[in-house]
Amino acid sequence: MKVLVTGGTGFIGSNLVNKLVELDYQVEVIDNNLSDAGKINKKANYHQYDLSDVNNLNQVSRILNSVDSVFHLAAKARVQPSIDDPVGYELNNTLSTVNILKACVDSDVRRFVYSSSSSVYGDNDNMPLKENFKPNPLSPYGAQKYYGEILCNTFAEVYDIETVSLRYFNVYGEGQNIGGAYSLVIGIFFDQMLSGKPLTIRGDGTQKRDFTYVGDVVNANILASESHMVGSGEVLNIGNGDNRTINQIADLFDVKKEYIEPVLEPKETLADIKLAKDLLNWEPTTSVDSWIKQQIIDYEKK
């Protein structure tokens, strides 16, 4: 079966490409940056295009010929950088989504699996977070991800393309960014540990996050492309169904901690994953505690 992954050289996208190749899918990849050779799978076909540029859609449509499913992961990620650059994020994230959806309709793609984010929930006192809660994004990134969900639902109704949106909760794992503007807290902690620096914690560290292993996110995408129970614009949480404070995560590293100024962020995230279990027959498999401990052991062996 032929599939397309957008953003296929990113953290989650490259893990998804590798798994699809392992499962003998014919994989096409579109990304606007193919410079990282370590994220290239030689058994997939790569194409460098900016999906936010409508002038590229003719070439994209040719790539979509005979494609069954599209996994749309291409996006500028992270909350804080989107606050610093809302226009750049809007141009990239929103236009790329509507453009690839339209190209999929024109090319008779069967199913479109959209990568959304728990950022659409914003701050909420009710836990766990359920898909029917009113969205309240606190950043341009969260708002853009929510609008992508709306687009998917609209296209499913108006253009008769099967769509499903997956809201990821704090994804970590192999291939994650270590350091830099696009790193999440676990990647930042590893970078600081390896550099001999204290772990920097925003605020008091009591904020809680539901951390989700990238392999589980990959499995959710593949199941979402195959399940006969979805395809009508559904939105599904993809989380571990439990959470940890940032202090608890930092304690796993056994490194000095340093507390710095807080940023605007939710106090807690925790996914209700019943829908994903029921509709995709999906279950998370990996604990963040055990994964971090094993990674630290592996680093110490090097």
Mean pLDDT (the chain) is 95
Question: pLDDT tens across 51-70, in order?
Answer: 999 999 999 999 999 999 99
pLDDT tens sequence across 263-292: 888 899 999 999 999 999 999 999 999 999
- Each residue's pLDDT tens digit, 228-238: 999 999 999 99
How many CA atoms lie within 13 Å of 95's alpha carbon, on the beta-carbon side? 14
226 Cβ neighbours under 8 A, 6+ residues apart: none
For 203, other C-beta atoms within 10 Å of its C-beta total 14
- Catalytic-residue membership of 141: yes
Report the C-alpha gap between 37 and 55 in whole angstroms: 27
25, 89, 114, 141: which is the annotated catalytic residue?
141
Which neighbouring-strand residues pair with 172? 213
Q: Output the CA–CA distances (angstroms, integers) from residue 45 to 7, 64, 172, in the order listed.
A: 13, 12, 26
What residues contact residue 79 under an 8 Å CB cut-off, 6+ apart? 119, 138, 139, 141, 142, 265
Domains for the chain: give ranges and CATH numbers: 2-171+211-238 (3.40.50.720), 173-210+243-269+286-301 (3.90.25.10)
pLDDT-above-90 percentage for the chain: 91
Measured CA to CA, the distance from residue 286 to residue 290 in angstroms comes to 8
Q: Is the pLDDT of residue 50 over 80?
A: yes
**pLDDT (0 to 100) of residue 80:** 85
Asked if residue 99 lies in contact with residue 213, where contact means CB atoms within 8 angstroms, the answer is no
